[in-house]
A = this chain, B = another copy of it.
Amino acid sequence: MEMHQLRYFAAVARTGNFSRAARECRVAQPSLSQQILKLEDEVGERLFERTQRQALLTPAGSLFLPHALSILEAAERGRQEIREMGGQVRGKILLGALPTIAPYFLPDIIRSFRTKYPGVELIIMRRPRNNSFVV
């Protein structure tokens, strides 16, 4: 049971159609079909009733769907929470740097750091224990 298999499964359940699901998942339709078959093989039951018109959830499929959705949701929320946490890191960092070479590599580093941790106050020092200034 792999993540992408669950994505494909959910898409087929939602659209009721392998081809449409494949388009939504941006994958070739036979590839999606293979992965659905593989998932069905692993759980030991057919998940869809394939008719010409549409792919309908079997009883096993209906039973499995909420679990698949909760997995996909948990994954998304996990990602989201960590992403949001980026902005919640707070504090101060005192950073010593040699004025002669700092301009060559510090700007890029500082820019990416401040994007990732806007809550952190960066303090760059020309030399230790003296003349600090906030960037």
Contact = CB atoms under 8 A, between A and B. Distances in A.
A77 interface: yes
A85 interface: yes
B85 A45 contact: yes
A45 B82 contact: yes
Interface stretch (A48-56, A62-70, A99-107, A120-128): A62-70
A2 B1 contact: no
A38 interface: no
Nearest to A80: B67
A126 B67 CA distance: 44
Contacts of A81: 63-64, 67
Contact of A83 (B2, B44, B83): B44
Interface string A60-97: 10011001101100110111011101100100000000
Given A2-B2, A3-B3, A75 B82 contact: no
Contacts of A1: 3, 75, 78-79
Interface of A: 1-3, 43-45, 59-60, 63-64, 67-68, 70-71, 74-75, 77-79, 81-83, 85-86, 89, 116
